[in-house]
Amino acid sequence: MGVGKPRSVTSQLWREARKGKRPLRTFLHGYIYGAWPHDYIGAAIGERRELAWKRLLFAPFLLRALDPERWAAEYHGKVMPTAAATRLLTVKEPVTLSLPEQVIPWDTARDLVLSGDGPFVAMDCPCRLARHAPCTPLDVCLIVGEPFASFILEHQPAKARAITREEAVSIIQAEAQRGHVHHAFFKQAMLGRFYAICNCCSCCCGAISAHRNGTPMLISSGYVAQVNEAACVACGTCESTCAFDAIQVDAVARVNAAACMGCGACVNLCPAGALTLVRDETRPAPLDVHLFDRATPLPPEMARLLG
């Protein structure tokens, strides 16, 4: 799997932080977030009393949540259709770049560093575990690349496991069939980099909840859903699936383009095939991995999506 020796992981994280000239406070934030992600996120969500009191422990970092713009700039997810999320997992070429503002509007966390061979870790979702009645399965958060994968395995051995690339893709595809949303997450404290693909349900996900309540944690995929009215049978599947309340069905499905994040969950589950994703030039550009990894053939569904 290529996962490093546990005892070397913290020093590797420290070396990466120093290489990027990141201040000690930011390193400590990343260490605490990575070592105790379930407590950290559970405290932020605050639904379970046994986790909510831990806000006192994480207060120096969670206080950022009082400033929605600052919080979002430092910790955000890029929405991705299923094909694009799968593509991110199957990159063969090493990638090191800072995504442009046209893709990620903030400059505090938008670096993308991939070795081309993972490693990959499936971790129990902190947001789901923070809820009284969580959705299942739990192990749907994918930690991608080093030093994050080894760090999570060292500190969360009971809630994380090393997986193959194929297993990671299978998790993405299974979550897509459940109507869940794929996010590529970036966090300033995690070296300012991409570190995880989360597969999120609207009932548990802290990021979706925060976004719907005015903290702009999520960045549009760059697409919006479009309805073929002639094909629509008004079954309501898309309306019940949409995590962002962007679809209403009367005689046919109607998409509120302003609310749509372009996740493609409705497209995946529409039994009539009446929905597609189309590029919205008013939104941030898609995170289209094929632009910098041409060594791997583009999957047919991604080719169709990108035209």
pLDDT tens-digit profile of 175-224? 999 999 999 999 999 999 999 999 999 999 999 999 999 999 999 999 99
pLDDT at 118: 86
Direct distance between the N- and C-terminal alpha carbons of the chain, in angstroms, rounded to an integer: 35
For residue 4, being part of any structural domain is answered with no
For residue 144, being part of any structural domain is answered with yes
Residue 279 pLDDT exceeds 90: yes
Lowest mean pLDDT among 60-74, 235-249, 291-305: 291-305
70 & 184 share domain: yes
Residue 147 pLDDT exceeds 70: yes
Q: Let me know: does 221 contact 79? Beta carbons within 8 Å.
A: yes
- Mean per-residue pLDDT, 263-271: 97
pLDDT at 275: 97
Which residue carries 């193959």 as its tokens? 164
For residue 152, being part of any structural domain is answered with yes
pLDDT at 2: 47
Residue 278 pLDDT exceeds 50: yes
For residue 295, being part of any structural domain is answered with yes
182 & 199 share domain: yes
pLDDT at 295: 52
Residue 300 pLDDT exceeds 60: no
Burial class (CB in 10 A: 0-12, 13-18, 19+), 50: exposed
Task: List Cα–Cα distances, 283 to 102, 255, 278, in angstroms.
Answer: 9, 16, 11
For residue 278, being part of any structural domain is answered with yes
The more confidently predicted of residues 138 and 61 is 138
Residue 301 pLDDT exceeds 80: no
**Distant-in-sequence, close-in-space partners of 158: CB < 8 Å, separation ≥ 6:** none
| Chain mean pLDDT for the chain | 90
Residue 299 pLDDT exceeds 70: no
Confidence of residue 306 (pLDDT cuts 50, 70, 90): very low
For residue 1, being part of any structural domain is answered with no
Nearest in space to 165 (alpha carbons), one of 114, 117, 115, 96: 117
Residue 264 pLDDT exceeds 90: yes
213-229: pLDDT as tens digits: 999 999 999 999 999 99
Q: How many CB atoms lie within 10 A of CB 236?
A: 12
- Domain total for the chain? 2
pLDDT at 65: 81
Structure tokens at 34: 């990575």
Domain with 18 in it:
9-219+286-306
Output the furthest CA–CA distance in the chain (Å, rounded). Answer: 61
